[in-house]
Structure 1
Amino acid sequence: MRPTPDIQSPEGIHAHRLGPFTGDTSSDSRTDYLHDSRSLLCTFSLEPSAFSSHHPFTVLSLGIVGLPNVGKSSLFNALTAAKAEAANYPFCTIDPNVGVVNVPDPRLDQLAAIVHPERTVPAAVQFVDIAGLVKGASTGEGRGNAFLSNIRETDAIVHVVRCFDDPDVIHVDGSVDPVRDRATIEFELALADLTVVEKRLDKAKRAAKTGDKEAAAEVSSLEKAQAPLSNGQALWHVTLSNEDRDRLKGLQLLTLKPILYAANVTDAELTGTEGAYVTALRAAIAADHEPAQVVTFSAKIESELAELPPEDRADFLSSLGLESAGLDRLIRGGYALLGLQTYFTAGEKEVRAWTIKVGDTAPKAAGVIHTDFERGFIKADTVSLADFVANGGWKGVKEKGVVRSEGKEYVMQDGDVVLFKFNV
């Protein structure tokens, strides 16, 4: 389906289509596509596919960290089906691996069954896997501090922790102790952050000496971070004001990023009683008053699951007594951690899931598709997923009168099905 003009200008003059829309979203192209001799106001009701190939949408990015041999690369390989080298020895991950994983969402299948689009596009999560860290990583031990820089641009951190015994899988410290392992990784991340803070602090102090008030305020915030980091204390455990956090935000400090713990457990523990290792890990996190979630998974099961055809995976999980895969639980945990939700667009060209923040308004959600959608937002024709499905699509919901015309103040809800209208 071609972009369809909402073809009436304020003066009541109909806009005219002068030629085929090429997908070029430059201002000249938009003006050429719809205009009239007395008004250059152009109003569109477009399917997102007209723009999405030119403007990438928001993708949640998760950086995976952990000690060597905890199941980190095995998890990454299973999630992304990217066969990064995974071997039973430290530092097997030579370069950071990046993989994009589709977010499983049965609601997309419901929409596709009604709309019958040319394609269905799920939301996506990007996983960044780095080499296993060891004591001294922040100062160059193992593969060194360079690996930590690879996850500074991620939205959140997934810390994979070994919570299983297996004499055939060596532990870099000689024994399995998830509480100790967590402390080791946090210490290295804190020292890596310290290097960044101290480098910035030197510059801020020089600027503050010239009378720069903003620089002086930045010095104060940096020093509040420097003190605990110097002692190897992660900033997750430090009380900082919103103003301090705002000033530190641009540094992409690792220990200010939201963190999710992924506990790699035995197959039996996934369906049975939680083991002592996971219980101890949860207790340590609670003792530090850290607002972090622990998700259990089995790297072994995830690896086996990845080898199966998609249509056989549900039966495999059911045979193990599991309702969902580790991937699903990790992604749900990541969405909850970052306060994310999904809305949908549903047209003949495509049905697509889009990721936004909880609390985002309709214009903000439109901007995820294309900045012009937000800049020239007029309204959002909105319907709940349940109503859309129950009434057989756009035609049915319009006939039943359940489509809502939402304005700029509307706060998006998870599962909204939306058609945006805007002008540029």
Structure 2
Amino acid sequence: MALTAGIVGLPNVGKSTLFNAITKAGVEAANYPFATIEPNVGMVEVPDHRLNDITKLVRPKKTVPTTFEFTDIAGIVKGASKGEGLGNKFLSHIRQVDAICQVVRCFDDGNITHVSGKVDPISDIETINLELIFADLDTVEKRMARVAKIAKTKDKDAVAEMEVLEKLKEALENNQLANTVEFYDEQLPYVRNLFLLTRKKMLYVANIGEDEVADPTGNPYLAQVEALAKTQGAEVVPVCARLEEEIAELDDEEKQIFLEDYGMTESGLDRLIKKAYSLLGLATYFTAGEQEVRAWTFKVGMKAPQAAGIIHSDFERG
């Protein structure tokens, strides 16, 4: 199930630190022969207490968790949609991911300068979202120029598509993400064919201070991000990237002690992995035997034969 979440963020918000935590906590690609992992891709295990419970019960020779990919997407700057900086590279990379995890700085630290001179997570989010919106607007307008000629001939399909394009154009021009625009089922194929960036699932990762991990509710920056996310139907995961980088280097026993010392029941990275996994509509089933207990990823909504086909195509054929 080759789905991946792309991690984006402005300079000095903690994106690189978070991705370092992901790669340190990651699994060796050699254990998964069909995975070709580039340097900017981190593969992590999806935490699931059910797998641990089954393993304790069955006591197999081997336990294989399911995995999830995060892609570190570099190059986001103001003007990326016009190709400035690494803009073109950024846009091509972000088109390849299935969901976007946007890291925003929600902590004060005078030793870490912010690209705009002050901590303002809403401004950070708007900067990135506007670049995505501008890129989508360009896509929509180019498509409109082609379809408009056909629509003039009263072609039913072209007229129907123009209606969708005009609705998208109006929304994007009002700085609205495409994933917040509602369409009828029969209109969705036209939307999907555009491969819009702002149509992708969005998750905000609020990088908070170390002293707030046990209870981040008093963080005013986090509250701002949560309020904005609510208007978009998006979710927010608070993490302390620097702390997660430390946790990623610990073994299971040390990790548990570390979490208890900070008043945490699970790491922020584990929460992020599970949230991104769920965001993409993924779920897990298990196979168990003396030789191996294994977790398998399937897409929510799959029928049982399709899910079984993930193990072997013969199972799907029956």
Q: Which TM-score band applies after superposition, normalised by the shorter structure?
A: 0.7 to 0.9
After superposition, the Cα gap between the structure-2 partners of 1:307 and 1:96, relative to the gap in structure 1 and judged at 3 Å, is closer
Q: What do residues 390-421 of structure 1 show as CA deviations (whole Å, max 9, x unaligned)?
A: xxxxxxxxxxxxxxxxxxxxxxxxxxxxxxxx
Deviation for aligned residue 1:334? 1.9
Q: 1:300 aligns with which of 237, 242, 266?
A: 242
- 1:59–1:123: 8 Å Cα contact kept in structure 2? no
After superposition, the Cα gap between the structure-2 partners of 1:218 and 1:97, relative to the gap in structure 1 and judged at 3 Å, is same
Structure 1's consecutive aligned runs of 4 or more residues displaced over 4 angstroms after TM superposition are 206-212
Q: What do residues 15-41 of structure 1 show as CA deviations (whole Å, max 9, x unaligned)?
A: xxxxxxxxxxxxxxxxxxxxxxxxxxx
- Structure ID, larger Rg: 1
After superposition, the Cα gap between the structure-2 partners of 1:82 and 1:349, relative to the gap in structure 1 and judged at 3 Å, is closer
Gaps of 5+ in 1: 1-57, 84-94, 377-421
Q: What do residues 197-245 of structure 1 show as CA deviations (whole Å, max 9, x unaligned)?
A: 2333334345546665334322322222122224443223433333333
Q: What do residues 243-295 of structure 1 show as CA deviations (whole Å, max 9, x unaligned)?
A: 33332113321211111111000011111343111111222333xx2111111
Q: 1:283: which partner in 2? A: 227
Aligned with 1:150: secondary structure?
A: helix
The alignment status of 1:126 with 2:69, answered yes or no, reads yes
The alignment status of 1:64 with 2:7, answered yes or no, reads yes
Deviates more, 1:118-127 or 1:196-205: 196-205
Counterparts in 2 of 1:35-74, with a 5 A limit?
A: 58-74=1-17
Aligned with 2:118: secondary structure?
A: coil
Instruction: Output the CA distance in 1 between the equivalents of 2:13 and 2:188.
Output: 32
The alignment's TM-score, normalised by the length of structure 1, stands at: 0.67
Give the residue type in structure 2 aligned to 1:175: K
After superposition, the Cα gap between the structure-2 partners of 1:276 and 1:132, relative to the gap in structure 1 and judged at 3 Å, is farther
After superposition, the Cα gap between the structure-2 partners of 1:165 and 1:104, relative to the gap in structure 1 and judged at 3 Å, is same
Q: 2:49: which partner in 1? A: 106
Deviates more, 1:117-126 or 1:293-302: 117-126
Deviation for aligned residue 1:342? 1.3
Aligned with 2:137: secondary structure?
A: helix
Counterparts in 2 of 1:119-198, with a 5 A limit?
A: 119-198=62-141
- 1:271–1:322: 8 Å Cα contact kept in structure 2? yes
- 1:96–1:147: 8 Å Cα contact kept in structure 2? no
Aligned with 1:62: secondary structure?
A: strand
Q: 1:324: which partner in 2? A: 266
Q: 1:274 aligns with which of 213, 218, 221?
A: 218
The structure that is helix-richer by fraction is 2
Deviation for aligned residue 1:188? 0.8
Instruction: Output the CA distance in 2 between the equivalents of 1:245 and 1:175.
Output: 40
Q: 2:285: which partner in 1? A: 343
Give the residue type in structure 1 aligned to 2:286: F
After superposition, the Cα gap between the structure-2 partners of 1:360 and 1:260, relative to the gap in structure 1 and judged at 3 Å, is same
Deviation for aligned residue 1:195? 2.4
Instruction: Output the CA distance in 2 between the equivalents of 1:370 and 1:223.
Output: 44
**Structure with more relative contact order (C-alpha pairs < 8 Å, separation 6 or more):** 2
Aligned with 1:251: secondary structure?
A: coil
Instruction: Output the CA distance in 1 between the equivalents of 2:233 and 2:89.
Output: 28
The alignment's TM-score, normalised by the length of structure 2, stands at: 0.87
Instruction: Output the CA distance in 1 between the equivalents of 2:39 and 2:81.
Output: 16
After superposition, the Cα gap between the structure-2 partners of 1:252 and 1:274, relative to the gap in structure 1 and judged at 3 Å, is farther
Gaps of 5+ in 2: 27-37
Give the residue type in structure 2 aligned to 1:275: N
Give the residue type in structure 1 aligned to 2:243: I
| Paired positions, count | 306
After superposition, the Cα gap between the structure-2 partners of 1:254 and 1:371, relative to the gap in structure 1 and judged at 3 Å, is farther
Q: 1:201: which partner in 2? A: 144
Q: 1:334 aligns with which of 268, 276, 280?
A: 276
After superposition, the Cα gap between the structure-2 partners of 1:179 and 1:119, relative to the gap in structure 1 and judged at 3 Å, is same
Aligned with 2:63: secondary structure?
A: strand
Q: 1:229 aligns with which of 172, 177, 180?
A: 172
CA RMSD of aligned residues (A): 2.4
